């Protein structure tokens, strides 16, 4: 899945420039309460990109995406489907932590969406996985809920888009009984792996 070919100098320069612009960004009010921007991290050659909602407390502190409790669960979920998260790139819809982990406001997502879009243009993934309702609704421009979006494949600008429950949601909904979010996610990660293997 890693398909390592070197990016050219123009790519590296555009990526570095984007990273610097995000680090200095003051396009929305979230810049006032952040400790660090969270650009996202992982394998920039990967066909697989995950998009979450926004940084939590630990992410804000470390400047890295999905490194708190939800992130640890994400790592476990993916490895249960034989997907190594280090081989994917992981980012968020908003790059600065919303206070008290509230959902990002529409104007914050609008302001920050340009950064995500620029990242996706450079990363050119084959599969984009939306983690949770905020990312899924933002990418797919729908008001449909995550319960109906998850486990389905969509075409978005020639990229396969898949939606899954957010790991924080799974932390709050711990049941593993048939039809529970955790059990459905177990199926979703297998479906994701199958698609990933088919595009390699």
Q: Does 93 bind ligand SF4 (CB under 6 A)?
A: no
Q: Does 94 bind ligand SF4 (CB under 6 A)?
A: yes
89-92 vs 48-52, strand pairing mode: parallel
Indicate which of ligand SF4, ligand URA, none lies near residue 30 (CB less than 5 to 8 Å, by partner kind).
ligand SF4
Q: Which of 17, 26, 144, 197 binds ligand SF4 (CB under 6 A)?
A: 26
Which is closer to ligand SF4, CB of 105 or CB of 159?
Answer: 105
Could you tell me the smallest distance in angstroms from the CB atom of residue 197 to ligand URA? 26
Give the span between the Cα atoms of 147 and 189, in whole angstroms.
15
x/- mask, ligand SF4, residues 97-126, rule CB under 6 A, reads: -----------x--xx--------------
Torsion sign across C-alpha atoms 149, 77, 106, 159 = negative
Beta strands per DSSP E along the chain:
41-42, 48-52, 89-92, 127-131, 153-156, 159-164
Total binding residues for ligand URA by CB under 6 A? 13
Q: Does 25 bind ligand SF4 (CB under 6 A)?
A: yes
Q: Does 47 bind ligand URA (CB under 6 A)?
A: no
Closest CA to 44 of 112, 136, 121, 115: 121
Q: Does 66 bind ligand URA (CB under 6 A)?
A: yes
Torsion sign across C-alpha atoms 179, 184, 186, 187 = positive
What are the residues whose beta carbons fall under 8 Å from the beta carbon of 137, sequence distance 6 or more?
A: 143, 144, 149
Q: Does 1 bind ligand SF4 (CB under 6 A)?
A: no
Q: Does 53 bind ligand SF4 (CB under 6 A)?
A: no
Q: Which of 42, 47, 55, 98 binds ligand URA (CB under 6 A)?
A: 55
Say if CB 82 and CB 193 are below 8 A apart: yes
Say if CB 170 and CB 73 are below 8 A apart: yes
Binding site for ligand URA (CB under 6 A): 52-56, 59, 65-66, 68, 70-71, 92, 168
Binding site for ligand SF4 (CB under 6 A): 22, 25-28, 30-31, 37, 94-96, 108, 111-112
């Amino acid at each position: 899945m890693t398909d390592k070919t070197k990016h050219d100098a123009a790519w590296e320069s555009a990526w570095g420039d984007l990273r610097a612009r995000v680090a200095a960004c003051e396009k929305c009010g979230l810049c006032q309460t952040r400790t660090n921007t969270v650009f996202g991290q992982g394998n920039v050659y990967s066909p697989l990109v995950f998009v979450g909602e926004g940084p939590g407390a630990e992410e804000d502190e470390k400047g890295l995406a999905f490194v708190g409790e939800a992130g640890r669960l994400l790592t476990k979920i993916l490895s249960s489907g034989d997907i190594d998260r280090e081989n994917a790139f992981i980012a968020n819809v908003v790059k600065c932590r919303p206070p008290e982990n509230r959902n990002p406001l529409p104007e914050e997502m609008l302001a920050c969406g340009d950064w995500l879009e620029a990242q996706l243009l450079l990363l050119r993934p084959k599969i984009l996985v939306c983690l949770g309702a905020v990312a899924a609704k933002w990418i797919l421009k729908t008001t449909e809920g995550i319960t109906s979006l998850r486990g389905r494949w969509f075409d978005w600008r020639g990229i396969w888009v898949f939606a899954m429950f957010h790991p924080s949601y799974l932390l709050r909904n711990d049941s593993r009984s048939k039809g529970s979010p955790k059990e459905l996610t177990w199926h979703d990660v297998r479906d994701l792996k199958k698609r990933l293997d088919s595009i390699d």
